[in-house]
Structure 1
């Protein structure tokens, strides 16, 4: 049975018709097709650009069953592409072969130098070995690697010269580098090293934003998880770490807004559980000052483009989400897709 869809495509706001050829979209109409979407609004599948399916805490081992459950939660919310910037284990090959699961762009295992991550979680390597390890993880994954660039607020970040050498080595094989950073020094080193994505970016010096835009460094602020952490910190006893967290949080929304205005690519990522909640991160981006369309793009067409996939055009992957009303004007619609199509198959 050939499937047919018609609707107003975002972000172009043009009415288009497509028929589905296997797992690809074809422009136009096909005779005797089953029209599964006839009107409404069509989006490229939603994207969570910072999620860690497969394990929910540092005490629980990574498992295939948990990975499948998490990816299914994403899919059922219309999240049809995920990027996993670091994991306790490499994402297994069967994920890409399963037509029921979202497409995955993985970064292999977290890379952490001693003292800069949860003990025993991810892959711990020495500063002398981290460049080689980054190339290994990028080669074994979807071309990405993820490095913990800093950790505790009162301890030094991964040195700039090491991070610079790491970025150069990964870029030389066509890979990309994501870096966890939440301290001033960590953000500074990541931007100056020319990383591809800044994960979190708390305590980012706003003077670095123009450089991020010029060199193409994306910002994945994960506002929801840091906003929740700030709420917990306000209820905690006074401490240096509490002050550091609250000060950093106060600067995050203004920095996200300034980064968007400067032309930095903003990506929506949740970094939290349950999976399938990227629509809440869209709301956080709007609260930070992004226009509704830009915030939605950060979790759809802009994110897909950044990760190497097209929007809804002839020949594109047949991954789309349909809504009865314009989700840029009716935010509540995002939680209620009328149709979800993944790899050319109707999921909902």
Structure 2
């Protein structure tokens, strides 16, 4: 049987475990670590629950391409090989196939069905639906996925966002059914509407009004800023000729570091999501969160234990899933090692 011992983060406690099928058991295994059946998979170092990417879209290379199950498997494998053992896919071009939940070699997937877009927003990339059918569509996607649905709350920077009254109705109906709602928002109006409607997560949240942060914290609305994907575009956007869309985009980007830091300080759950390819790069998003002003511990939590708790997944303890990554050095003291774990264990099996 596989045995593990090391310093568990974030608690910073030395602990020992053994693996019983796909589950962790606390303490020494029957017969001890030197027993005939014991195989020590990790002996010392630093232990984290598996890393998490809460905004990734495996199965396609961009929203305009067809959903491909072979690509889905390959991209989930990229996540796993980087130590990302749980992902949330907030909207895709197609619903996740049933085999995703049962494949022992792939990360645990929380899906949100197809993107839901009303006319003029995100055309042709997900499920296009008229405004009077949005509530029903949101309930259908939440029921067909992991309980989440994803609504495109706005699209073009200079065009109106989804009406607040409609988004509020969507969120209320999905919550009443036991589900959750993620909202894509990049404009001031779209972000404001998502918060006032009571969305469970803001995806991107450009132009977020800091006056809304206390409300977000109180109602449990998480902030997934996907800083890396925006940061990678910033220089190219600055090089463009001035225009309404370019100028609004840059105005939003220029406030994001301050808003992310202020959100964390206000008690909002800030999470790491990449929204980019290749997959398996959530450690880079944690670095962007640190650049925005989060401590190394908070940024690593956003890509591990905090994100897992938010998704309803436990950390490292007796009876928890045997999903973990191990490092020779403390990744809080040296965040550069986060994307390079020395040992990866998923569902009780050694991946690397």
Q: Could you tell me which residue of structure 2 aligns to residue 323 of structure 1?
A: 327
Shift of 1:235: 1.3
Q: Could you tell me which residue of structure 1 aligns to residue 104 of structure 2?
A: 99
Shift of 1:239: 1.1
Q: Tell whether 2:135 aligns with 1:131.
A: yes
Where do 1:165-176 residues align within 5 Å? 165-176=169-180
Match for residue 192 of structure 1 among 193, 196, 199: 196
Q: What SS class does the counterpart of residue 190 from structure 1 fall into?
A: helix
Match for residue 303 of structure 1 among 287, 300, 307: 307
Q: Tell whether 2:159 aligns with 1:160.
A: no
Q: Could you tell me which residue of structure 2 aligns to residue 4 of structure 1?
A: 3
Output the CA distance in 2 between the equivalents of 1:237 and 1:113. 30
Q: Could you tell me which residue of structure 1 aligns to residue 278 of structure 2?
A: 274
| Change in 2 beyond 3 A, CA 1:303/1:58 | closer
Q: What SS class does the counterpart of residue 128 from structure 1 fall into?
A: helix
Q: Could you tell me which residue of structure 2 aligns to residue 217 of structure 1?
A: 221
Instruction: Return the TM-score normalized by structure 2.
Output: 0.97
Q: Could you tell me which residue of structure 2 aligns to residue 261 of structure 1?
A: 265
Q: Could you tell me which residue of structure 2 aligns to residue 23 of structure 1?
A: 22
Are the equivalent residues in 1 in contact too, given 2:89–2:111 (CA < 8 A)?
yes
Output the CA distance in 2 between the equivalents of 1:288 and 1:197. 19
Residues 103-139 of structure 1: per-residue CA shift (max 9 Å, x gap): 000000000001110x321100011000110000000
Q: Could you tell me which residue of structure 2 aligns to residue 14 of structure 1?
A: 13
Are the equivalent residues in 2 in contact too, given 1:213–1:262 (CA < 8 A)?
yes
Q: Could you tell me which residue of structure 1 aligns to residue 86 of structure 2?
A: 81
Shift of 1:68: 0.4
Instruction: Return the TM-score normalized by structure 1.
Output: 0.98
Shift of 1:326: 0.3
Shift of 1:29: 1.1
Are the equivalent residues in 2 in contact too, given 1:213–1:263 (CA < 8 A)?
yes
Shift of 1:212: 0.2
The Cα RMSD (Å) is 0.7
Output the CA distance in 2 between the equivalents of 1:61 and 1:193. 31
Are the equivalent residues in 1 in contact too, given 2:195–2:221 (CA < 8 A)?
yes
Output the CA distance in 2 between the equivalents of 1:160 and 1:344. 45
Higher mean alpha-carbon deviation, 56-65 vs 11-20, is at 56-65
Match for residue 243 of structure 1 among 244, 247, 265: 247
Are the equivalent residues in 2 in contact too, given 1:230–1:245 (CA < 8 A)?
no
Output the CA distance in 2 between the equivalents of 1:162 and 1:248. 25
Q: Could you tell me which residue of structure 1 aligns to residue 61 of structure 2?
A: 56
Segments of 5+ residues of structure 1 without an aligned counterpart are none
Are the equivalent residues in 1 in contact too, given 2:192–2:208 (CA < 8 A)?
yes
Segments of 5+ residues of structure 2 without an aligned counterpart are none
Q: What SS class does the counterpart of residue 177 from structure 1 fall into?
A: strand
Shift of 1:335: 2.7
Shift of 1:60: 2.3
Higher mean alpha-carbon deviation, 56-65 vs 145-154, is at 56-65
Output the CA distance in 2 between the equivalents of 1:29 and 1:252. 46
Q: Could you tell me which residue of structure 1 aligns to residue 72 of structure 2?
A: 67
Output the CA distance in 1 between the equivalents of 2:120 and 2:232. 25
Output the CA distance in 2 between the equivalents of 1:58 and 1:105. 18
Output the CA distance in 1 between the equivalents of 2:181 and 2:235. 30
Output the CA distance in 2 between the equivalents of 1:229 and 1:159. 29
Q: Could you tell me which residue of structure 2 aligns to residue 343 of structure 1?
A: 347
Output the CA distance in 2 between the equivalents of 1:302 and 1:214. 17
Match for residue 37 of structure 1 among 32, 36, 42: 42
Output the CA distance in 2 between the equivalents of 1:58 and 1:82. 18
Are the equivalent residues in 1 in contact too, given 2:281–2:339 (CA < 8 A)?
no
Q: What SS class does the counterpart of residue 338 from structure 2 fall into?
A: helix
